[in-house]
Amino acid sequence: MKEERKQTSQSERKLSEQKEPNLPKEERPPHLCPICGQMSQKSAYPFCSSRCRAIDLNRWLSGAYILPPSSQISDEEE
């Protein structure tokens, strides 16, 4: 099972390399804020501002974002 996970992670890594290869900064696609869609700022990455960062944190703390239990994840892999 560990070998399957290694293979999956390696294939996922290859896929991500194909999507966004190591390009010079001028040629990289812009990173957009996941909250409002504006350009992300280096000081608040991956968000555009501390306001959007706080909104995201509030969503995590209020339960708007929920991760499935680990037992449910392992059942789906089989």
Query: Which residues belong to the annotated binding site for Zn(2+)?
Result: 33, 36, 48, 52
User: Measured between alpha carbons, how far is 7 from 27 in angstroms, rounded to an integer?
Assistant: 30
Q: How many CA atoms lie within 13 A of 27 on its CB side?
A: 5
- Residue that has been written with the tokens 């001028």 in this structure: 26
Q: Which residues are annotated as a binding site?
A: 33, 36, 48, 52
Q: Which of 15, 61, 59 has its CA nearest to residue 35? A: 59
